[in-house]
Copies of this chain bind each other. A is one copy, B any other.
Amino acid sequence: MMIVALAIKIANTEKGKTMKNYDIVIIGGSAAGATAATTARKHYPNKSILSIRDAKSVPIPCGIPYIYGTVGDAMKNLIPVDNMMGAANIDVLVDPVVKINQEFNLVLTAAGETVHYERLVIATGSHPVVLPIEGMSLPNVFPIRKDVNYLQTMQSELVKAKDIVVIGCGFIGAEMAEECKKSNPEKNVRVVEVLDHALQVAFDPEFSALADKALTDQGIELLMNQKVVKIVGVKKPESVLLESGVSLPADLVILGLGSVPNTDLAIGAGLKIGPAKGLCVNRYMQTSDSSIFACGDCADKVSFFDHKPSALRLASIATMEARIAGANLFALKRANDGVVGCFSTVLNKKAFAVAGLTATEANKKGYAIVVGEAESINRHPGLMPGGDLLKVKLVFEKGTGLLLGGQLYGALSAGELINAISAFVSNRMTADDLATFQAGTHPALTASPIAYQLVNAAENAVAKLSQ
């Protein structure tokens, strides 16, 4: 307390302001920060909590692509963070944090506020990846930043653009391409990708090939196995030059190249950084300072399967980590077993969803695997209204029959079915467990119990496991 008193004095002297004092301070107001704050409130009803964030409006991160062809306005794609904080009796400060002082448990803001914490949660998210090539800093070259003003600028430029080049055909690149085309089918939308297929990092090749088709069927041009070497232009882009020598006309360029952890504050505070370049955290989401927790994109992750570093950064992982961090602040209650990786998208009205390891990933990690597959219409009889093909692929460990992962394509019900698969994976269920799983089925909602894809895919694998 002596030290705290000293710190207060220093802060007051330096800034000429009264120091704020909170039990819990959370830096970051997006998926991880907002969820850590409300979770902390649920677990610690009597603690004082302050949520600090950079900007008034916080975009829904996964909703960003849909601003451009579907939702229509970045202001309609916001996390209702003030309502959430208000309802949970959490104080809010919109003011960028510029420094964390571990020694004195202090946070300093751009506007000169000093805040003392008992426990701190860092949820500073990530930055979009940019390429180390010429032309990256031209106007109208847009990495996807989670900033409403920036996203609105991007929209006003997109409306005017005729030739759009998207670099990277992962989830964000594919979704941005589709939404650009949807906003105006007259636009030329081209996607350049260094790998063979769309969504290739997330799916096995036969699913990625379906993603290619979903995009090209909408008139989007895919340039696969192509590397961008330069964005040519003076005041704005004119073309995108590929290593192959091809030059693509471009008045606007979007980057969908993934993200890197935003750890500037943490590094400044002397906190340990992990092998995946995020904040090093233990399974309780504590950083190298046990009174400082981190969660979301800024925190390092390990794989559920082998506890090796994982590069997955998803809003759903961020909130899971936030629910662990928020609960653990004053008593360790929950632990993080590592990331399963469960995510989905919709391209040309078809769902693509994955949980756990693909066959490609499992092979890369060294597993001996067995695959089970099944497909059927998600209604019974198949001519019930709303029916659509749903294709399931499951990957099992050969020795034990443990489910390592699943991939889905087709009907939109895949969006929740993938969560059943995530549950099976995280509970370490086997092919036999799945083959006798008690699924609920209904003519208007799913395949018949005889044709139920998940169970049949598992049964098909069982036959191979015993060979």
The chain A residues found within 8 Å of chain B, CB to CB, are: 31, 34-35, 39, 42-43, 60, 62-63, 66, 70-71, 76-79, 84, 314-320, 323-324, 327, 333-334, 336, 339-346, 351, 353-355, 380-381, 383-386, 412-420, 422-424, 426-427, 429, 432, 435-446, 448-450, 452, 454-455, 459-460, 462-463
Contact = CB atoms under 8 A, between A and B. Distances in A.
Contacts of A432: 333-334
Contacts of A351: 445
Nearest to A338: B438
Contact of A320 (B84, B384, B438, B460): B438
Task: State the 5 A-B residue pairs at the shortest beta-carbon distance, nearest first.
Answer: A415-B445, A342-B440, A423-B423, A416-B416, A427-B427
B381 A450 contact: no
A70 B384 CA distance: 7
B436 A63 contact: no
Nearest to A426: B438
Contacts of A66: 384, 443-444
A44 B96 CA distance: 67
B79 A450 contact: yes
A-side interface mostly: mixed
Given A43-B463, A319-B449, 4 more contacts: A31-B449, A327-B462, A342-B440, A414-B416
Contacts of A448: 31, 60, 62-63, 79, 315
Nearest to A351: B445
B427 A440 contact: no
A438 B42 CA distance: 20
Contact of A463 (B42, B84, B444): B42
Contacts of A63: 380-381, 384, 443, 448
Given A343-B440, A381-B76, A415 B446 contact: yes
Report how many copies the assembly holds: 2
A326 to B, nearest CB: 10
A343 B449 CA distance: 11
A415 B413 contact: yes
A372 B190 CA distance: 47
B315 A441 contact: yes
A347 B423 CA distance: 28
A79 B451 CA distance: 10
A442 B415 contact: yes
A42 B462 CA distance: 9
B380 A344 contact: no
Contacts of A319: 449-450, 452, 455
19 contacts: A34-B450, A35-B450, A60-B381, A62-B380, A63-B380, A66-B384, A71-B383, A76-B383, A84-B450, A315-B449, A319-B452, A340-B438, A345-B444, A413-B413, A414-B445, A419-B440, A419-B454, A420-B423, A422-B439
A324 B420 contact: no
B384 A436 contact: no
A466 to B, nearest CB: 8
A42 B465 CA distance: 12
Given A435-B323, A436-B324, A459-B42, A345 B415 contact: no
B436 A334 contact: yes
A344 B442 contact: yes
A428 B416 CA distance: 20
Nearest to A339: B438
A268 B2 CA distance: 88
Contacts of A318: 449
A23 to B, nearest CB: 18
A71 B415 contact: no
A317 B423 CA distance: 20
Given A34-B450, A343-B442, A323 B415 contact: no
A63 B460 CA distance: 26
Interface centre among A323, A324, A386, A414 (most CB of B within 10 A): A323
Of A381, A422, A432, chain B has the most CB atoms within 10 Å of the CB of A381
